[in-house]
A = this chain, B = another copy of it.
Amino acid sequence: MIEIANFVYYADLFGIAIFSVTGVLAARGKQIDLFGIMVLALATSLGGGTLRDLALNAHPLIWIADPILLWTAIGAAVLTFVYCRFWMLPRRALLVLDAAGLALFAIAGAEKAMGLGFSPLIAVIMGVSTGCAGGVIRDLLTGRIPGILQHEEFYATCALIGATFYVLMQGQMQPNLLALSAIALIFCIRMLAIFTGFRLPVFVVTGIDRTPRR
């Protein structure tokens, strides 16, 4: 059985592979070349963990400390690039993969912050931001308004719920089981949100002057 100390590593590894694939898929229809796609895949998959480690002052960065993470991202991107030229991808593959990456990164982020001795609140914030940051970077680079800011997305909230569960249940369950439960929780809520269309109340402004300005 792996130790929870190694858990961040494996969760980062899988999350990186998955987000790398979503980075490649986000390039569809944009006429981006092979290496541009590689840049997009690396920024998407390594961006979240990099921002987390910078904020926590945890040097060296994960992908500098261990090049296997880099090769994982590169390998996943190349495989996806090749795969998409020949085979059919299931519909909504991007959404499902993105949900899995979100779940893995959110819990890896929360665990890393707690392992470094930060407070539960900071651990939750780090979980949510690690989970969401990669997708935000991907969306900004491909010229879209980030998905987390769009109304159909019950997205960051899933990470918030899962990371909060993970932090609050510390010591109540066997560590690996807790981590896996929290990851499954995020993934399932997100899947439910996608397929049922459930969402939070939208920001409705009743009182503000709606005359367009700027």
Binding site for B on A (CB under 8 A): 24-25, 27-40, 42, 50, 54-57, 59-61, 64, 67, 70, 81, 83-89, 91-93, 118-119, 121-122, 125, 128, 132, 136, 140-143, 145-157, 160, 199-211, 213-214
Contact = CB atoms under 8 A, between A and B. Distances in A.
A81 B206 CA distance: 11
A84 B205 contact: yes
18 contacts: A27-B203, A30-B149, A30-B150, A30-B203, A32-B151, A32-B203, A33-B202, A34-B201, A36-B148, A36-B151, A39-B132, A54-B54, A56-B64, A85-B205, A86-B206, A88-B208, A140-B140, A142-B145
Contacts of A25: 208
Nearest to A146: B141
Contacts of A30: 145, 149-151, 203
Contact of A149 (B36, B67, B151): B36
Contacts of A136: 141
Given A85-B206, A91-B209, A203-B84, A150 B36 contact: yes
B34 A200 contact: yes
B32 A150 contact: yes
A150 B31 contact: yes
Contact of A55 (B61, B145, B146): B61
Contacts of A202: 31-34
Nearest to A145: B143
Nearest to A132: B39
